[in-house]
Amino acid sequence: GSEAEAAKWVAPPYVSHHPWGLAIDVNYPNEPVGAGWLEVNGARFGLCRVYENEWWHFEPVIAPGGTCPALVPNATFTRQLQPAPGS
pLDDT in tens, 30-55: 777 888 999 999 999 999 999 998 88
In a domain, 52, yes or no: yes
Give the whole-angstrom CA distance, residue 62 versus residue 44: 9
Domain that holds residue 46: 3-60
In a domain, 26, yes or no: yes
Q: Average pLDDT for residues 6-19, to the nearest whole number?
A: 74
Query: For a pLDDT cut of 90, what percent of the chain falls above it?
Result: 37
In a domain, 28, yes or no: yes
In a domain, 53, yes or no: yes
- pTM, 2 dp: 0.74
In a domain, 55, yes or no: yes
In a domain, 83, yes or no: no
Tell me how far CA of residue 16 lies from CA of 22, 26, 46, 52, 55, in angstroms.
9, 16, 18, 16, 16
In a domain, 31, yes or no: yes
Name the 3-class secondary structure at 84.
coil
Tally of domains in the chain: 1
Tell me how far CA of residue 31 lies from CA of 27, 34, 35, in angstroms.
6, 7, 8
